[in-house]
Amino acid sequence: MQHFGEMLTDIVMPDLETSETESSLELNFIIGIMITNRQHFILLSSQKNSEEKH
């Protein structure tokens, strides 16, 4: 996980030093965004499907 955090930090903020805490926070942030985007996609899909049925 720390390696992933270091790679992500190199891409997003190259001047930042990483630690396990920062890597964990970055990973949790990304997972949170992915879950939110997935929930939004599911909501839009269900609304579109219900509109097509009517």
pLDDT (tens digit per residue) in 17-52? 656 666 777 788 888 888 888 888 888 888 887 877
Which distant-in-sequence residues (6+ apart) come within 8 Å of 49 by Cβ? Answer: none
Q: Is the pLDDT of residue 15 over 70?
A: no
Question: Do 34 and 8 touch, CB atoms closer than 8 A?
Answer: no
Q: What is the pLDDT at residue 11?
A: 75
Q: What is the pLDDT at residue 19?
A: 62
Q: What is the pLDDT at residue 41?
A: 85
Q: Is the pLDDT of residue 7 over 80?
A: no
What angle, rounded to 10 degrees, do the helices at 2-12 and 20-53 form? 80
Start-to-end CA span in the chain (Å) = 47
pTM over 0.75: no
